[in-house]
């Protein structure tokens, strides 16, 4: 076994060049930062509303702006990476992301802040799939790429947790504007180091950008997501929800028709027909939704029902982050030993148990932290990180080098849409306890589907 790993490492060095470790560290830091930026407004949002005189509808749009641009443009970002080469697309995306991240902490009015968040999301949509395309060039051998993806799968959950925790701490100690400035440091460093640490990636030749498909997908996903976001303040039957939902659905239907007739489609229909990949993408979306939903519900519960400060809420989630880190670090060796399908199933089951514990004991008005919240805050991230890591390997299994950007775009789209769809569905349930219990059932059901698919 050791001899085989040594031969793989030597072959990898011969193909990919020296020091893949620093390249992976750079790409991983970028991915964490993109998701950190997505969640960095969750905790300080009430303070932003008071300072900028924003009502509930304005705050909802502000909190969703980054995700709307991010999720809407990801498929196009994947095509750009496959068409022009991963490193070029990564550099372009980072330039847009850096400029918007520099502007976000400095703006004075809500309109300018909203525009900056949209621009950040657009830059992130170019950067995220490009990072996966470069990752494939760093680890060209299938075995090495699989091991890298096992670790990569946990980075997004880690980034979301870091955004929630650190933004609360920074906002409490200093200002929410300082929290918005954090991504600038990583983005500037990545731009400086990319030419030295990242390999050049070949362009995709004469592949078209499929602009009609890109426009339909971007507008359809963005409008449908916006309609779902509006359910936080409006009923499902209201015009504010129905119009964007129906318009988005119509555009996405048009996207399907166009893709079936296009010679070189943005999203080949066969790409999603693979049962394993479909279940893996569902697992990615659900794990992202489960962790995001739990953080939002518990953050509101602890601040509104128990009177905790934002700093205390962040401290309460430190074990959550620690469990996430341990599980993420363990995922690679566990996948090597037991296989990605088994780890995905086990991770979903453990996450379901954690959500069930939180639903039963975590939301009591005066419940104890040690044996009320803490067990669920340890089980959920451990399962989510393991499930996400296994699903990331399954979602990219068998993907050729010319479709790595596409795979990155689809994976990140699932990760972005998951929380939006699940949160909108849970709002209709009303009760936080019922919402957590329903999410636990969804995790358990998906675990069963993964077991049957093996």
What CATH number is attached to the domain comprising 449? Answer: 1.20.1250.20
3 domain residue, yes or no: no
The predicted structure's pLDDT at residue 454: 66
Provide, rounded to the nearest whole percent, the portion of the chain with pLDDT above 70.
94
Residues 406, 439, single domain; the answer is yes
Residues 149, 184, single domain; the answer is yes
The predicted structure's pLDDT at residue 436: 87
Q: What's the average model confidence in pLDDT over 313-318?
A: 84
Q: What's the average model confidence in pLDDT over 408-424?
A: 85
For the chain, give the longest Cα–Cα distance: 64
The predicted structure's pLDDT at residue 12: 45
Residues 150, 223, single domain; the answer is no
The reported pTM is 0.83
204 domain residue, yes or no: no
227 domain residue, yes or no: yes
Q: CA-CA distance, 276 to 452, in Å (whole number)?
A: 11
Residues 243, 271, single domain; the answer is no
The structural domain count of the chain equals: 2
For residue range 372-407, what is the model confidence (pLDDT) as tens digits?
889 999 999 999 999 999 999 998 888 777 788 888
12 domain residue, yes or no: no
Q: CA-CA distance, 74 to 348, in Å (whole number)?
A: 25
Give the residue among 366, 362, 330, 368 at the shortest CA–CA distance from 346. Answer: 330
Least confident of 48-57, 181-190, 205-214, 445-454: 205-214
Q: Which residue has the higher pLDDT, 279 or 369?
A: 279
9 pLDDT higher than 50: no
11 domain residue, yes or no: no
Residues 146, 281, single domain; the answer is yes
Q: What is the sign, positive or negative, of the torsion defined by CA atoms of 91, 411, 328, 333?
A: negative
pLDDT interval class at 3 (50, 70, 90): very low
Alpha-carbon distances, residue 339 vs 332, 335, 344, 390 (angstroms): 10, 4, 9, 8
Q: What's the average model confidence in pLDDT over 134-148?
A: 87
Residues 445, 313, single domain; the answer is yes
Residues 261, 275, single domain; the answer is no
CB 298 within 8 A of CB 362: yes
For 259, the domain range is: 211-265
For residue range 86-127, what is the model confidence (pLDDT) as tens digits?
899 999 999 999 999 999 999 888 899 999 999 999 999 999
CB 117 within 8 A of CB 66: yes
CB 294 within 8 A of CB 436: yes
340 domain residue, yes or no: yes
């Amino acid at each position: 076994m050791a001899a085989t790993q040594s031969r793989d490492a030597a072959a990898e060095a011969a193909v990919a060049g020296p020091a893949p470790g620093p390249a992976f560290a750079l790409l991983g830091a970028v991915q964490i930062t993109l998701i950190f930026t997505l969640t960095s407004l969750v905790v300080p949002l009430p303070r932003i509303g008071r300072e900028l005189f924003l009502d509930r509808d304005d705050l909802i749009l502000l909190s969703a702006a980054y995700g709307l641009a991010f999720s809407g443009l990801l498929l196009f970002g994947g095509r750009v990476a496959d068409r022009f080469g991963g490193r070029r697309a990564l550099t372009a995306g980072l330039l847009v992301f850096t400029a918007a991240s520099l502007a976000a902490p400095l703006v004075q009015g809500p309109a300018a802040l909203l525009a900056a968040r949209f621009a950040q999301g657009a830059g992130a949509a170019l950067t995220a799939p490009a990072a996966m395309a470069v990752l494939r060039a760093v680890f060209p051998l299938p075995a090495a790429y699989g091991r890298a993806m096992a670790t990569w799968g946990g980075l997004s959950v880690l980034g979301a947790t870091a955004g929630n925790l650190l933004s609360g701490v920074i906002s409490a100690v200093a200002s929410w504007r300082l929290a918005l400035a954090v991504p600038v440091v990583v983005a500037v460093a990545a731009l400086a180091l990319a030419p030295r640490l990242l390999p050049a990636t070949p362009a995709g030749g004469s592949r078209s950008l499929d602009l009609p498909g890109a426009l339909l997908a971007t507008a359809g996903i963005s409008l449908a997501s916006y309609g779902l976001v509006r359910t936080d303040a409006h009923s499902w039957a209201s015009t504010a929800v129905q119009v964007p939902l129906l318009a988005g659905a119509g555009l996405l239907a048009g996207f399907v028709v166009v893709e079936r007739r296009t010679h070189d489609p943005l999203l080949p229909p066969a790409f999603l027909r693979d049962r394993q990949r479909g279940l893996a993408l569902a697992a990615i979306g659900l794990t992202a939704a489960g962790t995001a939903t739990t953080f939002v519900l518990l953050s509101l519960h602890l601040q509104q029902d128990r009177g905790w400060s934002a700093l205390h809420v962040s401290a309460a989630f430190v074990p959550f982050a620690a469990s996430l880190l341990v599980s993420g670090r363990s995922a690679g060796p566990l996948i090597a030993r037991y296989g990605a399908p088994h780890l995905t199933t086990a991770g979903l089951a453990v996450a379901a148990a954690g959500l069930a514990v939180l639903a039963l004991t975590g939301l009591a008005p005066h419940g104890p932290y040690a044996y009320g919240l803490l067990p669920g805050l340890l089980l959920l991230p451990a399962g989510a990180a393991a499930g996400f890591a296994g699903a990331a390997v399954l979602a990219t299994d068998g993907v050729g080098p010319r479709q790595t950007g596409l795979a990155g775009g689809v994976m990140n789209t699932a990760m972005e849409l998951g929380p939006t769809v699940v949160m909108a569905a849970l709002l209709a349930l009303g009760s936080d306890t019922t919402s957590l219990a329903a999410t636990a059932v969804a995790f358990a059901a998906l675990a069963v589907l993964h077991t049957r698919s093996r």
